[in-house]
Amino acid sequence: MAEVPEDRKEALVKLRNTILDNLPEGFKEEMGYGMPGYVVPKSIYPQGYQCDPNVSLPFMGFASQKNDISFYHMGMYADQALYDWFIDAVTMRNGKKPNVGKSCIRFRKSGDIPYELIGELVAKISVEDWIKTYEEKFLRRKS
């Protein structure tokens, strides 16, 4: 957080606190890919991430990018109904569809960040649910 531009620091601290206040038991906060992230630790899922088994299984994170604050949530990428719920709720709240990528939502203005909705989203998926979804939808299985 020390490296974040001053004009974004308050929003990022609030976003981090929202995540931590709603994070289901078992997830762990750690730095990954140059940003704060939330993972299933290797103590729970020793296999780690398929792309790098030495890395804990990623789930979500956030970052201050050049033009926006980005919030990443792999659960939305994996579950179309969850994605639709969140995008619809953000659209209703902000009066416009958010700028989205595969597993990220970009907020150009910190006032557009729907902290309450992010808190709800964070609380919706347990560690056990995420492991099951990850194994079903993303894990490359050997034939």
Mean pLDDT, residues 5-11 taken together: 79
Question: Which pLDDT score is estimated for 141?
Answer: 57
- Tens digit of pLDDT for each residue in 35-54? 889 999 999 998 888 777 78
Question: Which pLDDT score is estimated for 20?
Answer: 97
Buried b / exposed e along 10-28 (16+ C-beta atoms within 10 A): ebbeebeebbeebbbeebb
Question: Which pLDDT score is estimated for 142?
Answer: 47
- Tens digit of pLDDT for each residue in 46-83? 888 877 778 899 999 998 888 889 999 999 989 999 99
Q: What are the DSSP E strand ranges found in the chain?
A: 28-32, 35-40, 57-64, 69-73, 99-100, 104-107
| Tokens, residue 7 | 């004009």
How much of the chain exceeds pLDDT 70, in percent? 93
Mean pLDDT, residues 119-139 taken together: 93
Rounded Cα–Cα distance for residues 107 and 127 (Å) = 26
Question: Which pLDDT score is estimated for 121?
Answer: 96
Q: What are the chain's domains?
A: 6-137 (3.90.1150)
Question: Which pLDDT score is estimated for 48?
Answer: 82
